[in-house]
Structure 1
Amino acid sequence: MVFSSLIFLFVYLPIVLVVMKTSPLKLRNLFLFLLSLVFYGWGEPFYIVLLILSTVVDYINGYYVHKYRNQKKIAKRFVIFSICFNLGLLGFFKYYDFIVMSLNGLGFNALQPLGLALPIGISFYTFQTMSYPIDIYRKDADVQTSIVSFGAYVAMFPQLIAGPIVRYKDVAEQLVSRNETMDKFTQGIQRFMIGLSKKVLLANNIGLVFETIKVASDSQMSVLTMWLGIFAYGFQIYFDFSGYSDMAIGLGKMFGFELLENFNYPYISKSITEFWRRWHISLGTWFRDYVYIPLGGNRCSKIVNLRNILLVWLLTGLWHGASWNFVLWGLYFAILLMIEKLFLLKILQKLPAFIQHGYTIFFILLSWVIFAFEDLGVLKGVLAIMFGFGDVPFVNDYFFYLIRNNIVLLIILIVSVTPFMKMVYHKHIEGKKIEWMTPVLILIGLIVCTAFIVDASYNPFLYFRF
């Protein structure tokens, strides 16, 4: 079940809202847990077992880490067990076939791929449950005595499948007592509709442009056509993922939770370093707090610091997928970030803003090429076309045809990756006290999105595969 489906919007969500708003306060975590299991099991009922297993194991680990927190050696054993269990679970289901096929490619044929389906959201919920005993060990969080409340945290359906990655310490107090007001509920609806509109009206439509270019014939291809395709993919993945995060944050508000922001207009960045402070913030924060800083962070020699950056980004690449293109993607960003760390940031800061921004967008677009094509042969061919080595013209009629048919959409996309629309809303609606327009806009948005969903045959969530 996805947020941008009719069954979620008009069946599941209304039922959940009625149950949650009419149930006694003491039972709301229980109902949230059970209803979230229904949401998760809608497409994959078997893998509910893994989710529950991960919940129980780390609830027990957290309990014993707390019990022995003054006996560091014993407490550390439970932390290590939690890390090994969660990484083992993630590694088996996500990376076993990748490792086996890589070994087979080298001539080691003792093992065969299992062809197991990847459990939805496993990359997100294993990181969440693993952080719980670690935070208790560090005394950053108190133990949760109720397994129901802990289960509600792990399985909370707004963020279960594609994040943002919510750490226990960030919602611990809200699990015990949360402020469910009409104002917050209204904010949640507004934020959810922003995310739904991003996903249905923007991501899906520009995604169709990318899919069209990806399967274009040789006679239709040109250098600028391929660049347009990568621009389209860059827009699609941003509005797809940030739209999901907006919907998750909005749903959280409806139930009284304040989930952390996951995107902050990343495409206005003036360096790759800044981009990764604005893109998928919850993942970057997780790797910073649980990998980068424990390795020494930047409070070490320059060589060790560069090693830390390299390790973190190789892991970040692997987290995104069990394929060599994701390893290359992580290595690509590691190299860029190390170069900026060593000298480039100081040079960039002295240059005009448009050059800084152009540099950042150029290298981000190249990163999406690596990210989008898992087949390394196809990836090589796409890069060859983009840089004029693909035996295709620089521009052709097909490129202008695509531009003419999508010019309005492209203008809306360009404006929407900046804070401009937000500024207009605050100035001309909130600032002039005409908030009555907000519910009107929400209703119009719901009607238009519903019409697009009914008519659409293309409605993927790109980050579900991670």
Structure 2
Amino acid sequence: MTPYGSFLFFIITAILLAPTVILGLNGKQFRTYNLFVTLIFLALIFSSNLRETYALIFFTIWQVLLIKGYIAYRKKANSGVVFCLAVILSLIPLLISKLSPYLFIQNLWGFLGISYLTFKGVQMIMETRDGLIKNQIPIVRLLYFILFFPTISSGPIDRYRRFEKDVNEDIPCERYKLFLYEGINNIFLGFLYKFIIGYSINHYIIVKLGLITHSAFQHHLFYMYAYSFYLFFDFAGYSAFAIGISYIMGVKTPENFNKPFISRNIKDFWNRWHMTLSFWFRDYVFMRFVYWIHKKKWIKNRQIISNSGYILLFLLMGFWHGLEIQYILYGIYHALLMVVYNSFEQVNKRRKWWPQNKFTHIVSVVITFHLICFGFYIFSGYFIHKGV
């Protein structure tokens, strides 16, 4: 069963979470029951594919051993070599899964949501290195965080310390009513985004582009804008479902989108689009790379360091999506946009070429919107399949 892929999923969700709602409205705790619900959903999601089930079990055991082992090690020592080894070992199942199709070998380790579960494991190892996670974590709590079913397939990506705070917190009945309201509101928003607007864009525009457009240029142009909006509403709808169900379960899973099409520049866009993923790459790739280069003093120019970090960041993000040419080009495209904007921003601070006022703000939003849509056009690979 695919999460959020059919109305049957929501019917089962409503039935299974009814006791959670009843307990919450009566001011009682529902942690133990929610663990039970998570196990049921994992069984429903993965029961149709035994290979994925075994891969998930192996992956979970692997990550738990690495995380608990590194926490125990970090109390005694802090070797950079051991830290890097722990991160690499945490990434290995994901790397094998991603590379298997291109190496023409059977993908035995991949399963639905492996990327997002890996991000959780890696961030816990990194935060342990930073001293933010100091004590051993009960194995049930660790498993609940890694396998939290509302976000298992495509995020949003939560952080352990934030998740732990929510799970540990007692929720009075009056406060749970607010959680329930936010949860239901997000679920209905998800239906609007994914099953009404997203479906309509795909069914009435994208599928019928051949009837709507009259030239190759017009065809690709219409597709670029239609696909951009479809991608947003489909993915934002999924995220709204995950956030809504999380709230009903007493967990305030972070937002993933914040009106990305009104971004005033490309940096602003990545602070609004798929925020939990972009913040993850920012915190655990970009910031660490910049700090490392500063520490080693290999490059002294801060702008060159930040531009190098952007190139690394978006190339990795492109390769993470896959080794197909459109994903690599998408990463290169956004790396180029970030480098150009970063350089422009530094010069503009000194020379004031682009003043801050309502007119320039509107122009910036319009320009950024078109740049973003062209990036999604690259990401779609439509120009490869249909030809330019």
TM band (smaller chain): 0.7 to 0.9
Q: Distance in 2 between matches of 1:53 and 1:117?
A: 8
| Relative contact order, higher structure (CA 8 A, sep 6+) | 1
| Contact 1:29-1:152 within 8 A present in 2 as well | no
Map 1:146-157 to 2 at 5 A.
Answer: 146-157=138-149
| Contact 2:52-2:110 within 8 A present in 1 as well | no
Moved more, 151-160 or 326-335: 151-160
1:120 aligns with 2:112: yes
| Contact 1:58-1:132 within 8 A present in 2 as well | no
Q: Distance in 1 between matches of 2:22 and 2:130?
A: 36
Q: Distance in 2 between matches of 1:174 and 1:337?
A: 35
Q: 1:43 to 1:273 in 2, by over 3 A?
A: farther
Amino acid at match of 1:369: Y
Which residue of 2 is the match for residue 359 of structure 1? Answer: 367
Which residue of 1 is the match for residue 247 of structure 2? Answer: 253
1:341 aligns with 2:346: no
Deviation at 1:53, TM superposition (A): 2.7
Which residue of 2 is the match for residue 233 of structure 1? Answer: 227
Q: Distance in 1 between matches of 2:213 and 2:288?
A: 53
Q: Distance in 1 between matches of 2:73 and 2:95?
A: 28
Q: 1:76 to 1:173 in 2, by over 3 A?
A: farther
Q: 1:25 to 1:81 in 2, by over 3 A?
A: farther
Deviation at 1:378, TM superposition (A): 3.4
3-state SS of paired residue (2:207): helix
| Contact 2:70-2:125 within 8 A present in 1 as well | yes
Q: Distance in 1 between matches of 2:136 and 2:234?
A: 34
| Contact 1:314-1:331 within 8 A present in 2 as well | yes
Which residue of 2 is the match for residue 414 of structure 1? Answer: none
Deviation at 1:222, TM superposition (A): 4.4
Cα deviations across residues 128-168 of structure 1 (Å, max 9, x unaligned)? 12211221221223445322221111111111111111121
> 190, 199, 224: which is aligned to 1:195?
190
Which residue of 1 is the match for residue 152 of structure 2? Answer: 160
Map 1:414-433 to 2 at 5 A.
Answer: none
| Contact 1:58-1:82 within 8 A present in 2 as well | no
3-state SS of paired residue (1:136): helix
TM-score when normalising by structure 1: 0.71
Deviation at 1:377, TM superposition (A): 3.5
| Contact 2:97-2:107 within 8 A present in 1 as well | no
1:373 aligns with 2:381: yes
Structure 1 residues not aligned, in runs of 5+:
101-111, 383-466
Cα deviations across residues 355-400 of structure 1 (Å, max 9, x unaligned)? 21221111111111111117x6437x33xxxxxxxxxxxxxxxxxx
| Contact 2:256-2:274 within 8 A present in 1 as well | yes
Q: Distance in 1 between matches of 2:322 and 2:119?
A: 15
Amino acid at match of 2:100: Y
1:304 aligns with 2:296: no
Q: 1:312 to 1:182 in 2, by over 3 A?
A: same
3-state SS of paired residue (2:290): coil
Q: 1:229 to 1:185 in 2, by over 3 A?
A: same
Q: 1:32 to 1:129 in 2, by over 3 A?
A: farther
Moved more, 150-159 or 349-358: 349-358
Moved more, 180-189 or 254-263: 180-189
Which residue of 1 is the match for residue 45 of structure 2? Answer: 40
Deviation at 1:255, TM superposition (A): 0.5
Q: Distance in 2 between matches of 1:255 and 1:19?
A: 7
Q: 1:20 to 1:357 in 2, by over 3 A?
A: closer
Which residue of 1 is the match for residue 168 of structure 2? Answer: 176
> 204, 212, 234: which is aligned to 2:207?
212
Q: How many residues align?
A: 366
Amino acid at match of 1:129: G
Amino acid at match of 1:284: S
Amino acid at match of 2:186: R
Q: 1:117 to 1:200 in 2, by over 3 A?
A: farther
| Contact 2:213-2:219 within 8 A present in 1 as well | no
Moved more, 349-358 or 163-172: 349-358
Q: 1:126 to 1:290 in 2, by over 3 A?
A: same
Moved more, 81-90 or 287-296: 81-90
Q: 1:295 to 1:207 in 2, by over 3 A?
A: same
| Contact 2:194-2:237 within 8 A present in 1 as well | yes
> 180, 186, 191: which is aligned to 2:181?
186
Q: 1:52 to 1:222 in 2, by over 3 A?
A: same
1:7 aligns with 2:2: no
1:95 aligns with 2:116: no
3-state SS of paired residue (1:318): helix
Q: Distance in 2 between matches of 1:35 and 1:349?
A: 56
Which residue of 1 is the match for residue 297 of structure 2? Answer: none
Q: Distance in 1 between matches of 2:105 and 2:17?
A: 39
Deviation at 1:206, TM superposition (A): 0.3
3-state SS of paired residue (2:288): coil
Structure 2 residues not aligned, in runs of 5+:
295-299
Which residue of 2 is the match for residue 285 of structure 1? Answer: 279
Q: Distance in 2 between matches of 1:115 and 1:127?
A: 20
Cα deviations across residues 192-231 of structure 1 (Å, max 9, x unaligned)? 11112110001111022454256x3899444334322211
3-state SS of paired residue (1:184): helix
3-state SS of paired residue (2:256): coil
| Contact 1:69-1:75 within 8 A present in 2 as well | no
Deviation at 1:335, TM superposition (A): 0.4
3-state SS of paired residue (1:233): helix
Which residue of 2 is the match for residue 417 of structure 1? Answer: none
